[in-house]
Amino acid sequence: MIVAIIIGCEIGFWILLALGLASRYLWHRRTLSTALLLAVPLLDVILLAAAVIDMRGGATGDVRHGLAAAYLAYSIVFGHRTIRWADATFHHRFAGGPPPWKPPAGGMARARYEWALWLRIVLAYGIACVVLLGLVWLVDDPARTEGLVAFMEGLFKIPLIAVLWPLSYTLWPRKVESASS
């Protein structure tokens, strides 16, 4: 059931986002657009409530509950940024807006950008762990929550692997071509 809710929330995210942007730029219904885009975080509340209800109902914590926590953490840390990116892209493509912002191509500016992105990944990992630890505390049954702790440990691989990008841009910065070249 949790997997179906995760999938439903992911689909719902993109549907609400697409309808929100279409309402803003194609149908010129700004109020409707705002309402649709403000509804996006409600999907996270639904997902969190479903995970809590499932665990309180006797479920054994496993990768499904871990994915729910990771999805929630991603939404908290990257959701606004994702919506802003989609808004700029949609505005450019369908409403004649300026091209969307792109990260720096190289040099130390790109390294700083990559380190900031990595710090967001670490923050998302931390939020996922807090949610999972909250579930562990709420259930208070080590036999049913050992899968959540294992998921946290496995999830640590993401920031560990992701640190390779900012390190590579710091140690081997790509040269930025000047505008006169």
Contact 175, 165 (CB under 8 A): no
* Full-model pTM: 0.89
Residue 119 is predicted with a pLDDT of 98
Task: Name, in order, each residue with C-beta under 8 angstroms of 100's C-beta and a sequence gap of 6 or more.
Answer: 85, 88, 89, 92
For the chain, the farthest-separated pair of C-alpha atoms sits apart, in whole angstroms, at 66
Sign of the CA dihedral with 136 first, then 4, 118, and 34 last: negative
| pLDDT tens digits, one per residue of 100-130 | 999 999 999 999 999 999 999 999 999 999 9
Give just the sign of the alpha carbon dihedral 35, 40, 46, 48. negative
Contact 156, 125 (CB under 8 A): yes
Q: DSSP string covering 80-116, please?
A: HHHHHHHHHHHHHHHH-PPPPP----SHHHHHHHHHH
Rounded Cα gap, residues 134 and 126, in angstroms: 12
pLDDT digits (tens, 9 = 90+) for 68-101: 999 999 999 999 999 999 999 999 999 999 999 9
Q: What average pLDDT does the segment 22-38 reach? A: 95
Provide φ and ψ at 96, rounded to 5°.
Answer: 70, 20
State mean pLDDT over 132-152.
Answer: 96
Residue that is written with structure tokens 């993109």 in the block = 14
Name which of 127, 9, 175 is nearest 17 in CA terms. 9
pLDDT-derived band at 175 (thresholds 50, 70, 90) equals confident
Q: Which of 137, 180, 133 is closest to 155 using CA atoms? A: 133
Give the residue with greater pLDDT, 177 vs 35.
35
